[in-house]
Amino acid sequence: MHIRKSFIVSIYLSVFLFISAMEVNAMSGLGKVMFSAVQGVVLKDGKPLPGVKVVRTFNWAWNDATQKDEATTDTNGKFRFETAKRLSLITSIFPHEPVIDQEIIIHYENKQYTAWFFAKRNYEENGELSGKKISIKCDINTPEGYNLGNKVWGICTPNQ
């Protein structure tokens, strides 16, 4: 009887740990905000660049999982990403401080330009820029290293 009980407890524990470790990708709806919605424009010398690939990634330090999505600029050089969310039972149960590495890379003429690099430390919508929506202007001729003030680094500046 004792062996059977410990076997059942082991099965329940294994299932709980499996479900807890499993994360559900949720681009909208349930989940914690990993990367707020972003809208932006890609320019070269102030002129819009249509058809440019823009890649957004984030890495959630909790399980070292990376999520990636892509957009292509329209005829006016504009792109948009919806809010990216993830759901995990572990982060819903245990207190912790999130660390979410965020990056947006612009791919143009076989070169990569870092548009946005930030380590988000909260799950708040628009928590990257202290509650302001992320709206950025990215001129690929801007020297890299611009700091938006909250340790956001890249070639983009916030639109006012």
Model confidence over 141-155: pLDDT tens digits? Answer: 877 666 655 567 888
Nearest to 141 by CA among 101, 111, 97: 111
Higher pLDDT: 130 or 78? It is 78
Residue 145 CA to residue 15 CA, distance in Å, equals 46
CB 43 within 8 A of CB 140: yes
pLDDT value at position 32?
87
Neighbours of 39 (CB within 10 A): 14
Across the range 48-52, mean pLDDT stands at 98
In terms of residues, how long is the chain?
160
pLDDT value at position 96?
79
Nearest to 104 by CA among 68, 129, 61: 68
Only one residue has tokens 């050089």, namely 77
CATH 2.60.40.10, domain 25-158, yes or no: yes
Model confidence over 61-111: pLDDT tens digits? Answer: 666 678 899 999 999 999 999 999 887 666 667 777 888 899 999 999 999
Whether the predicted pLDDT of 24 surpasses 50: no
pTM of the shown model: 0.77
> What residues does each domain of the chain span?
25-158
pLDDT value at position 66?
82
pLDDT value at position 95?
79
Which of 5-19, 52-66, 114-128 comes out lowest in average pLDDT?
A: 5-19
